[in-house]
Structure 1
Amino acid sequence: MKVAFVGKGGSGKTTCASLFALRAAATGAPVLALDADINQHLAVALGASEADAAALPTLPAHLGLIKEWLRGDNPRFTPEQMIKTTPPGHGSRLLRVVEDNPVWDATLREVVPGVRLGLAGAFDDADLGVACFHAKTGAVELLLNHLVDGRGEYVVVDMTAGADAFASGLFTRFDLTFLVCEPTQRSVGVYRQYAGYARDFGVRLAVVGNKVSDADDAAYLRDEVGDDLVGVLGRSAHVRAGDRGASRDVAGLEEANVAALDDLRAAVDAVEKDWVRYQADAVAMHRRNADAWAGPALAAQIDPDFVPGRETVTL
């Protein structure tokens, strides 16, 4: 299942994404984590050192390889013609969460046991003033378009903060999107903004309460977001210690917070996988790009009879 963590800056979405990934991996589930935030902190949040995090490969640095591999024998376009919204078709290579392939070998690293991580990468000097961050998250979107995941497998994506998460088609690529919400008016306001955008595109949205101090905080969130609230994470001494360099192993996490993470996972597992809808959403976003700037050449990349799924994986 593909899950995203979004929210306003400072809400703790990266922390929540890392805890979800670590808890799932601790139960033996395969986990692929992707950092699509402009502030690339997920590696450290998972437990990597600052030095190890800085040495990790990035997806955009291997974009040529990614396009070449994913294109496979698809006759509708060349690797050079692929863009971030290009959907798979007959002849495309589809990726699986657990497999060996050249793309994973080049771009993923197991930063902690059971969690492999891929990075959109941070801005460098060449990007300043001439590029937007979506040029980097495009590699993440292209991968997710071609990624076939199954029950009991988790793809966890830390998205960029604020409404900017809706500035590309990446926000449509998830079975469930968790919005991390603090018990404050500002954070609830961000939730309402997200909920409006999500509703317009049929995106499944669930709320994770974070930095909840007491029953009043939890009640406030329930009153404001209603049934969208699926879990509440309290303030955590374990997380604070991890922010100071202590172990981030979820074995030391408070029992109530572990239970909340299990509630999030149960919410994900309850979602019905719909590959027809998933491909249709990818095609719709690709058509928006075609209509906006690229025209018939881009629209011709769409294979109208193709639906991804495990039975269609090309090795």
Structure 2
Amino acid sequence: NPVYDACARPVELDGGTARLMVTGPFTEADLGVSCYHSKTGAVELCLNHLVDGRDEYVVVDMTAGSDSFASGMFTRFDMTFLVAEPTRKGVSVYRQYKEYARDFGITLKVVGNKVQGQDDLDFLRAQVGDDLLVTVGHSDWVRAMEKGLPPRFDLLEEPNAAALRTLRSAADAAYAGRDWERYTRQMVHFHLKNAQSWGNAKTGADLAAQVDPAFVLQESVAATA
């Protein structure tokens, strides 16, 4: 894959490796003339040309809040985990995101962060209801990571490791119920919307011609590849 060859780098994790891609910072030419969506748009393009199979995972760390709605990237995931602290500000971000995503069939679950006790848990349950999937608390392991001293992953505290297993199970269940037709329809929708808004004028061509109306994403495409 030429994109991976050019952009992905292997990162060692306890004897194994993961492929990491980063959107990158602003360049000097970007300053004052470009918004960060010019960077995140590249992530959306990559996802639109990627077909994952079972037991394959793509984890995208997005900025907090509604910024991802500036493109169609928010529709590219089987499951969106929204991290929210037990505060009014944390919950307000969740409410805004859910409101924007309401008409797009987005599966959204909340991960309560920095939950210190029953009061914090009760607050989140009262504010987000059944969308609350799991909570995490203080972690000396994470603190060491943030200091640049990554410990072995098997030293992660068991409650937090159990939370990660819950996230993975939720992602697996969402993949099993994936609506491939919706994925394709939304991908085409935002492609045409951007073509009409700026793409056609920028390229001097009708970018609707890039769409194959008979094509639908499906798991068999990944199996064939």
**2:71 matches 1:162:** no
Identity %, equivalent residues: 58
**2:215 matches 1:306:** yes
Question: For the Cα contact (< 8 Å) 2:51–2:221, is it kept in 1?
Answer: no
Secondary structure in structure 1 of the residue aligned to 2:21: strand
CA distance in 1, matches of 2:39, 2:148: 29
CA RMSD of aligned residues (A): 1.7
CA distance in 2, matches of 1:249, 1:132: 37
Alignment partner of 1:151 out of 47, 54, 65: 54
Q: Return closer, same or farther for 1:260/1:103 CA change in 2, 3 Å cut-off.
A: same
Q: What pairs up with 1:1-315 in 2 under 5 angstroms? A: 101-112=1-12, 113-271=16-174, 272-294=177-199, 297-312=206-221
2:188 partner letter: V
CA distance in 2, matches of 1:103, 1:252: 34
Q: Return closer, same or farther for 1:250/1:216 CA change in 2, 3 Å cut-off.
A: farther
| Uncovered stretches (5+) of structure 2, i.e. residues with no partner | none
Question: For the Cα contact (< 8 Å) 2:65–2:96, is it kept in 1?
Answer: no
CA distance in 1, matches of 2:181, 2:128: 30
Q: Return closer, same or farther for 1:214/1:139 CA change in 2, 3 Å cut-off.
A: same
Tell me the TM-score normalised to structure 1 length: 0.65
CA distance in 2, matches of 1:145, 1:189: 30
Q: Which runs of 4+ in 1 moved over 6 A?
A: none
CA distance in 2, matches of 1:277, 1:137: 22
Q: Return closer, same or farther for 1:210/1:292 CA change in 2, 3 Å cut-off.
A: same
CA distance in 1, matches of 2:42, 2:197: 20
Give the structure with the larger strand fraction. Answer: 1
How many aligned positions are there? 215
Residue by residue over 1:179-212, the C-alpha shift from the partner in whole angstroms, topping out at 9 and shown as x without a partner, is 1000001000111000101112221111111111
Tell me the TM-score normalised to structure 2 length: 0.89
Structure having greater relative contact order (Cα 8 Å, sep ≥ 6): 1
